[in-house]
Amino acid sequence: MPQATYHFPEGFVWGSATAAHQVEGSNNNNDWADWETRDGHIEENGRCDLSCDWWNGRWREDLDRAAESGQTSHRLSLEWSRIQPTPDRWDENALDRYRTILQGMIERGLQPLVTLHHFTLPRWFAEGGGWENDDSPLLFDTYVRRTVTALKEYNNCWVTINEPNVIIYRGYMEGAFPPGKNDPGAAFHALCNLVRSHAIAYHTIHEVQPRAQVGMAHQYRGFIPAHKFSPLDAAVTAFNHQSFNKVFPRALADGRVRFLHKSTRLPAAAGTQDFFGLNYYTCDIVAFRPSPKNLFQARWYPPEAEPSRTGFNASYPPGMTMALNWANSYHLPILITENGIEDSQDGLRRRYLLSHLHQVWHALNHNMPIRGYYHWSLIDNFEWERGWTLQFGLWAFDRETQVRTARPSADLYAAICKENAISHAMVKEFSPAMLPDLFPG
Ligand code: BGC
């Protein structure tokens, strides 16, 4: 009997994503290196240390794995503190090393997608006030100009800033990331400077490299009211959607920043994205609570969601469709710049991959301009305030021995990338319990 196959469009980009601080190791010159030394900031007092040792060359073996498994692109980030270790010093050796890595990617058939800032700041920049310093957009722009000029031969697709909404929430509202604040005023100040920094970098990159494609990577978290007809649940849901999901993309579309009760105009930011970078992980149900604690709300995963072992995130595939519908309202080509789940056992990850990619396939069939998908992550790596306690990799990683081991998901993802499709045979081999859902009848 012929079996159905979900085909993806020709030329669809398949990749995985990493970030400099999470995989490179051997760097002591950024704000996270300091943050990690203070007790209680990182689970089990984890430190990044050598991490996956990409800085000393192990990027080669990991990117071999990516290329051999049919991926056609890789998203990585550059570590600003290596390129500009002090305000007046540029490290040409660091830029050379990044040139070698990008060239190595191209030689392996992996088209680079480069993020210029993924959470970590040079120590000098953080000590100078970080994103609250009103010179920060100009300082960021100087780094961007120098770096893009140096690397433009190897890359033309840039993410300026990864998840600025996460930087604001985790760093300035919850205090789980540096600078560890709980201060809405500081959050708004930093937020406006992040928007300005992106906008100025967008124009600089186009000046240096007129054919460049430039965007941001926005994290979308789905928010669903607990009671459909409750105006209070609807109000807190809309508040979350505005202040977490919409604040940055709207500012980059129309030049107006709206956050909590504040709003300001930054006209230079309008129209500064060539593509929409979308990071999607999970969704929350939201209910109003009559107490200022937690911004007048309680949140939990939808009952149909499948939480990870630690509860850090949960698989909720309809959220991928919500995320894509929302991203598509910005009328730009979409790149899914991150999507994944932590799962050391890997059963959940296989289900997550198949069910989320199935939603992507549906969206493509509704003519959504989705150009590619990057799985987070290629290999287990340093997971910020969770240290080494969460495993997001297609490849498992042993820190003691530096040994990498393919999880079944690595083979499943390789089959999908190579066939540019999800087939009945793949589901049967890797997650047979999903057959009735994915191939009914
Ligand atoms: C970040 C990654 C992180 C991942 C999983 C994303 O928000 O961009 O750096 O590792 O989530 O938590």
Q: Of all atoms in ligand 1, which is nearest to the CA of residue 384?
A: 10
- Go through the domains of the chain in sequence order and give each one's CATH number: 9-220+315-407 (3.20.20.80)
State yes or no: pLDDT of 399 exceeds 90: yes
Counting Cα atoms < 13 Å in the Cβ hemisphere of 140 gives: 29
Specify the higher pLDDT residue, 1 or 35.
35
Can you tell me which atom of ligand 1 is nearest the CA of 19? Answer: 9
| H-only helix segments in 289-423 | 318-328, 347-365, 408-419
User: What's the CA gap between 165 and 194, in Å, rounded?
Assistant: 10
Give the mean model confidence (pLDDT) for residues 177-198: 98
**What pLDDT is stored for residue 355 in this prediction?**
98
Question: What confidence tens digit (pLDDT) does each residue in 407-426 have?
Answer: 999 999 999 999 999 999 99
Q: Which pLDDT score is estimated for 298?
A: 97
Distance 326 CA to ligand 1 centre (A): 20
Write the residue with the smallest CA distance to atom 12 of ligand 1: 383
pLDDT at 1: 45
Q: Residue 179, preceding bond cis, omega within 30 degrees?
A: yes
pLDDT tens-digit profile of 46-78?
Answer: 999 999 999 999 999 999 999 999 999 999 999
- In this prediction, residues 279-288 reach a mean pLDDT of 98
Minimum-distance ligand 1 atom for the alpha carbon of 342 = 5
The confidence band for 2, taking pLDDT boundaries of 50, 70 and 90, is: low
CA of 103 to the centre of ligand 1 (A): 25
* Mean pLDDT in residue range 14-40: 97
Please report the pLDDT score of residue 441 as a whole number. Answer: 77
Query: Ligand 1 center to residue 262 CA distance, Å?
Result: 27
**Is the pLDDT assigned to residue 6 strictly greater than 90?**
yes
Ligand 1 center to 120 CA (angstroms): 12
> What is the pLDDT at residue 39?
85
Quick one: average pLDDT of 253-277? Answer: 97
Residue 107 tokens read as: 């030689």
Residue 394: predicted pLDDT: 99
Per-residue pLDDT at 392 exceeds 70: yes
Q: Give the pLDDT band of residue 429 (cuts 50, 70, 90).
A: very high
Q: How far is the CA of 369 from the centre of ligand 1 (A)?
A: 24
Which residues lie with the beta carbon below 6 Å from any ligand 1 atom?
19, 22, 162-163, 166, 219, 279, 338, 376, 383, 392
Q: Please provide the size of the chain in residues.
A: 441
Q: Are 204 and 141 in contact (CB under 8 A)?
A: yes
pLDDT at 191 over 80: yes
pLDDT value at residue 194: 98
Atom of ligand 1 nearest to the CA of 119: 9
